[in-house]
Amino acid sequence: MVIGEAARSMNAEMRDRYPSIPWGRIMGFRNFAVHEYFAVEWNIVWAIAHRDVPTLEKQVFSILAVEYPNLAAPLERSN
């Protein structure tokens, strides 16, 4: 849900610069998880968290390195 909120808070221009990231699906899942909580299949969420979130993390660090180089370097060292 936090990732979906962060994606929604980004301006559309920035999201458009990185079309390989499925921003719409990320924001859509956030909306589904919040508004249809009891319909969420948590085993699927678990699988996505383990399979897709690590890839997304790498993509986000790449974006930070391009968009905010002074911010990205300390974050990369802490991981």
Active-site positions read: 30, 35
Angle (CA) 4-13-58 rounded to 5° is 50
| DSSP sequence for 35-67 | HSGGG--HHHHHHHHHHTHHHHHHHHHHHHHHH
CA distance 12 to 20: 14
- Alpha carbon 63 to chain centroid distance? 11
